[in-house]
Amino acid sequence: MKMIASPFAKHAAMIAGAMLLGVTLGTSPAQAAGDLPEIKAQSWTFSGPFGTFDRGQLQRGFKVYKEVCAGCHGLRQLHFRNLGEPGGPEFSEAEVKALAAEVEVKDGPNDEGEMFDRPGKPSDAFVSPFPNENAARAANNGANPPDLSLMAKARVGGPDYIYGLMVGYKEPPSSMKMSEDMSYNDVFPGHQIAMAAPLSEESVEYTDGTKPTLENHAKDVSAFLMWAAEPKLEERHKLGFRFMIYLLILSVLLYLAKRRIWSRLKH
């Protein structure tokens, strides 16, 4: 019989197809960096369908954000409690409390109808550095430092782009006329950016033995911003993995069932 000539091949193809689907669904968008040649793909622990964040890297990245970027950029979709949740930097409860208490949060009105400042709590959102866009522009030569909550997803290249931006500051080519207060950057569209190089060697002190190089600072803060933009990445990867296993088992069962049914037919 022609129809059952190669049932195994057919099923193998089905299983391969299902696995491919699983892999595609689980792929992180950071890998779509290919179409912009100047953005070099870095190796990240969180890329690929089974990737997870490196806790130490996220904790260092948070430190870089807090001590350098937070002076100009908000991260308003994050709450302090997120820093202690599974799949993120996983700071301890006490550390989260202490980190939250470092900031002043506006609260109120109190019984007298007045707003007041109090130390932050884990349930508070991150506090942006400027009260509004005009204040932000006034402090940055007219340019607005964007909120970084979704930045790692908003730009083509994601964390590869942010890394490239951090390490991409150079002397402009002599042919290029630079406007005042602008810096030349390899990966920024148009190459003139209103943000001066925020990082250099030893910008931030590391306490876990990691070398405080520009490259490590850049990598750590990019990974941290990737987590900030997609705090459920690890959960998504785990689900994708379970889904693939499920498809595999289902395919084997279907194959065995089909073989049993067809074996009743006379050849």
Positions touching ligand HEC (CB under 6 A) are: 64, 68-69, 71-73, 140, 143, 145-146, 151, 155, 162, 165, 188, 193-195, 198-199, 221
N- to C-terminal Cα distance for the chain? 7
Both tokens assigned to 11: 């099923």
Q: Least distance (Å) from ligand HEC to the CB of residue 151?
A: 5
Residue 12 phi/psi, 5-degree rounding, is -60, -40
Q: Which amino acid is at 6?
A: S
Q: Which is nearer to ligand HEC, 69 or 100 (CB)?
A: 69
Q: Least distance (Å) from ligand HEC to the CB of residue 27?
A: 22
Q: Which is nearer to ligand HEC, 17 or 34 (CB)?
A: 34
In this structure, are residues 204 and 63 in contact, taking their beta carbons and an 8 Å threshold? yes
Tell me the C-alpha distance between 212 and 63, whole Å.
12
Q: Least distance (Å) from ligand HEC to the CB of residue 141?
A: 7
Q: Which is nearer to ligand HEC, 21 or 197 (CB)?
A: 197
In this structure, are residues 133 and 144 in contact, taking their beta carbons and an 8 Å threshold? yes
Q: Least distance (Å) from ligand HEC to the CB of residue 163?
A: 9
In this structure, are residues 64 and 43 in contact, taking their beta carbons and an 8 Å threshold? no
Q: Least distance (Å) from ligand HEC to the CB of residue 186?
A: 12
Q: Least distance (Å) from ligand HEC to the CB of residue 79?
A: 20
Q: Name, in order, each residue with C-beta under 8 angstroms of 74's C-beta and a sequence gap of 6 or more.
A: 126, 127, 128, 129, 130, 147, 148, 149
Tell me the C-alpha distance between 208 and 197, whole Å.
25
Tell me the C-alpha distance between 43 and 228, whole Å.
18
Q: Which is nearer to ligand HEC, 39 or 233 (CB)?
A: 39
Rg (CA), the chain: 25
Tell me the C-alpha distance between 172 and 176, whole Å.
6
Nearest CA-CA partner of 226 in 78, 124, 110: 78
Q: Which is nearer to ligand HEC, 72 or 233 (CB)?
A: 72
Q: Least distance (Å) from ligand HEC to the CB of residue 52?
A: 22
Q: Which is nearer to ligand HEC, 138 or 245 (CB)?
A: 138
Q: Which is nearer to ligand HEC, 199 or 244 (CB)?
A: 199
